[in-house]
Amino acid sequence: MSHCDNNWNVNLVRFLPLALRIYIVTWNVSTKFPENISLNKLLGLENRPDQDTALPDFFVIGLQEVNAQPQNTLYNLFKDDLWTQKFKEVLKERDFVVIKTEQMQGLLLSVFARRKHLLHLRQVETEYTRTGLGGIWGNKGAVSIRLNVYGSSICLVNAHLAAHDHMLEERINDYERIVQEQKFHVKAKETIFDHDYVFWFGDLNFRLTGEATTSADEIRAMVARDELKQLIEKDQLLLVRREGRAFSQLQERLPQFPPTFKFEHGSNDYDMKRRPAWTDRILYAVNENNYRNVRLTAEQTSYKSHPSYSISDHKPVTSEFTLKVNRKSQYNVEHFRNQHNNRLSYKLAMRNNTDVHSFDDLVTDLIDYGQVYEDTTERTISFKPIELWLVGEPNTIEYVIPNGFDEGNADWIGIYRENFTSLSEYLAYEYTETYKDKQHQLNEQQLQHLQNTRTVQLTFSENVSLPLDTRYQLLYFQSTGTRGVTGLVGISDSFAVEKRCPSPSFDEID
């Protein structure tokens, strides 16, 4: 191999796929509050924060039967619910940020990400489907969050399906309704199974067959004898998947832990009023061949229950996955051309490849075969340094919009405390100026200007009140509206705020 060939290989290393770890929790908490319990063991975080060296990249928390009494619903309008707060207390010490939370009555879904990934999470959107009382009531159903992670799409579904042994058909109907009704606004990713990765978890309420022949006492005895392999063959979810009646697009490593329902509160003893069953599950699907020359994979590295948690009649279940995501370089074609046009390695490649007649042909060929990416969704806004922010006065900021950036019709910039722990913690915000609604009024030259890199100014009102005892950051959100698609695309450096010293009065002047 020639020296030039070595240069070629080194240059393409940056385009290899990226592996990310995602840790999923599902738990029916039986309307209990997270008082006097530690969540560290549940999250696999049994070291001190400064000793955690192998943290996941994402934590996904799916809860069912969260206390949804009217007084708590009102409280949650102004603050995170108590469970989200409890998880946040643990994870903020490890620099995780709440990306999104969605709640439908007792169903709660939250996604936490390491801070370093924030600018690579795009097109975040939530959905929910009610299935209780024929779709009228939200005590059963599903909430979901979809997002792009380094260009790959992930859909997370937290579901609570119909209960009781004999309600198998209702559970199947619930599943079909959720799949049919959940529609997203991201092009080509409108349904759950359009996504690269799907994780479906929750209290799915599937029980064991043989209600007339296998009693609760017999199931408990089989569990005591560690006859889990024989018992799982009676599992309704396993059977309907094999028959193709529901969940057949998903896969699951069969549980090797005892049934997670139903327990006496405060103990590890089964409540014999119900037949024990694996109601709490985590399933997944991978569309392996969504990209040319990149095979997506999800390696499930753990799947277990946590019997030490006894506040509920369910035991929590967790699973960890390592995903291969289709990470894309921020090089665009023009940058690629300018950097490599005179490289001997490319001239040799053009000479030796009979199908390549020009540099443009070579670039096109490399892009088509997945070796060079141009991902427009990874473009970011950059803020100019804020030298001085004065409280009680208008403050004008400047930011740079990159070439070809697609502004949303509801983009906004929020003010956050430095080291914020949730994207919902903004202290104030202003909508940016967008030209989408004005395009019919602009001439061709003005429209072209909008596609070029440009600097924009935005003024925050003098009514923005910020405490003086901390530092702040600006966050730019690309958004299509209240329940639309949102992504964080810019974060400023931190800055301090000051209050202008008052002018001296006449009496103070000598």
Q: How far apart are CA 8 and CA 370, in angstroms?
A: 15
pLDDT for residue 284 is more than 90: yes
Q: How far apart are CA 313 and CA 295, in angstroms?
A: 41
Q: How far apart are CA 426 and CA 470, in angstroms?
A: 14
Q: How far apart are CA 303 and CA 253, in angstroms?
A: 8
Q: Which tokens in the block code for residue 197?
A: 């990765």
Helical pair 344-352 and 359-368, crossing angle rounded to 10 deg: 80
Contact of 98 with 88, CB cutoff 8 Å: yes
Instruction: State the average pLDDT for the chain.
Output: 85
CA 422, 424, 429 angle in degrees (round to 5)?
125
pLDDT tens for each residue of 327-385: 655 444 455 555 555 554 554 455 555 454 555 555 554 444 433 334 556 789 999 99
pLDDT tens for each residue of 233-245: 999 999 999 999 9
Q: Who contacts 8 (Cβ-Cβ below 8 Å, separation ≥6)?
A: 345, 349
Rounded to an integer, what is the distance from CA 213 to the centroid of its chain? 43
Give the position of tokens 């959720």: 178
Tell me what pLDDT residue 15 has: 38
> Nearest to residue 109, comparing CAs of 211, 199, 36?
199
pLDDT for residue 145 is more than 90: yes
Omega before 384 cis (within 30°)? no
Contact of 260 with 308, CB cutoff 8 Å: no
Q: Is 345 exposed, middle or buried (0-12, 13-18, 19+ CB in 10 A)?
A: middle
pTM: 0.85
Provide mean pLDDT across the span 158-176: 97
pLDDT tens for each residue of 14-71: 335 689 999 999 999 999 999 999 999 999 998 878 777 789 999 999 999 999 765 4
Give the helix/strand (H/E) hosting 12: helix 3-12
Q: How far apart are CA 110 and CA 76, in angstroms?
A: 14
